[in-house]
Structure 1
Amino acid sequence: MTAATPGEAQANAAPVVLAADRVSFSYGRGAEVLHDVSLALVPGESVGLVGESGAGKTSLLRLLLGLGAPTSGEIRFEGHALDRRDTRSMLAFRRAVQPVYQDPFSSLDPRMRVGDSVAEPLRSLGIAGGRTERAARVTELLESVGLPADAAERYPDAFSGGQRQRIAIARALAPEPRVILADEPVSALDTSVRMQVIELFQRLARERGIGLLLVSHDLTIVAALCRRIAVLEGGIIVEQGETRSVLTEPRHPYTRRLLDSVPRLP
């Protein structure tokens, strides 16, 4: 039996669904953008990944989504190294790991009705069922994110940014994933609706037992949503642990600089 990775150890021995295990990555022959990164995601737990632009957050997210392969180390899914050449295992991976992207205005096809967009993962992942069954599933998904059933018949341009992000979340929930990887999911939204979407993520993680990785540069969002936090600087995780502990007693100078940059009322 191999020893637990640092990320797995911090998951408190819970069943790890998705993990980066000592992952390093570079684009072509360029310099490394990630170095020896370990991070674990378990059901029902929200983890924040924070760092400035260029820290490597997007690169790590792409690897965790199976959109690239590490230069060294492994992406592990349900305890096994992810093999992007294995069609069957990748189908199971796609069902279990779903993304929510930053921009709700570009993540939905403007030519598709909302119901078709939400149902698309059911068709593409081979879990479609009949038309009546799909329609019932779309209704349940839309209502679970606070939208009426008749939203399925409308097009994305009929909705606000916050509503579109709810639609994107409903689509991510369609295959009943075990993990959602969210890339700056509220940064494109008005301040007035950000907390509504954050509360939606909190409720879904709690009620459905979904693991959440929230990629963000905003420490206030992470503090509100995530129980654990990992701080990425220059492709290296310099600090990770319980969010409250890390943010109240940061050990690394970079974490302290991030905290000092958070605007405060005079």
Structure 2
Amino acid sequence: MPPRDLALALLVVVVWGVNFAVIKTGVAEVPPLLLGALRFMLAACPAVFLLRAPKLPLRLYLAYGLSISVGQFAFLFTAIHLGMPSGLASLVLQSQAFFTMLFAALWLKESWRRSQLAGLILAAGGLALIGWSHGASMPLAGFLFTLAAASMWAAGNIVTRAVARHGPINQFAFVVWASLVPPLPFFALSLSIEGPAVIVEALARFSLQSFAAVAYLAWGATLLGYGLWTRLLSRYPANQVAPFSLLIPLVGLTTGWLVFDEALQPLHYAGAALLMLGLAVNLFATRLLAWAKARP
């Protein structure tokens, strides 16, 4: 990978890693479900007027928007609103890789390799340690909502696989047009759960900080992040691009510590180590074994 594209990959890692601290800042002033609606309104407009929608069935736009956008971020924003530390959220959310494996086995009938099963067991042990350490610094509900967000991201990954079967398309344009789906469900959820009075109050005291958080989530995390990520995936094999996601929790944990003074407990460190080891085994073990067998 040339230095320029390597720099772009690292930029995505930083943008998505910092994203969790921005979410925590945003939900401090804006209710989480309303924040989701505003994020995707800004992500879709005015970009939809500049890009042509890929020719895909409407059901794929709906499935993607409702899973990876509404499902993932409704749970994630709520988790952080309930007190889930932003750094730990960035770590636990990476369990989406194993939910994706599970869903692919159930829905696409894909078989698991031994290395994937070993990685899943290690990651499950890490998540169990993190969940076991819940308390004042990490509410159990926040942890469970983050796991639910990871499962929704994984469901969106399966939808993306279905999109790929329709041939090469402008993935960035697909993300933009799929961003038209989430605002209405988010507004409906916000009205029914958070209530009209909370929405009116939040909009009435909508500050520059709130706008900056929404703008970062829409233009930075969604458009810039996904735009660069899909560009890299179109140029290089997925196994060259995917490992960069392992660096996202490093940025997320560091940002949470620097900005919010989020301190990890010993069980958090142990769980984080097992989870990251599980992800690394899932990504690299097969290639390392193949390389070892190929050596004379």
Pick the TM interval, shorter chain: under 0.3
TM-score (norm 2): 0.26
TM-score (norm 1): 0.28
1 or 2 for the larger relative contact order (CA 8 Å, sep ≥6)?
A: 2
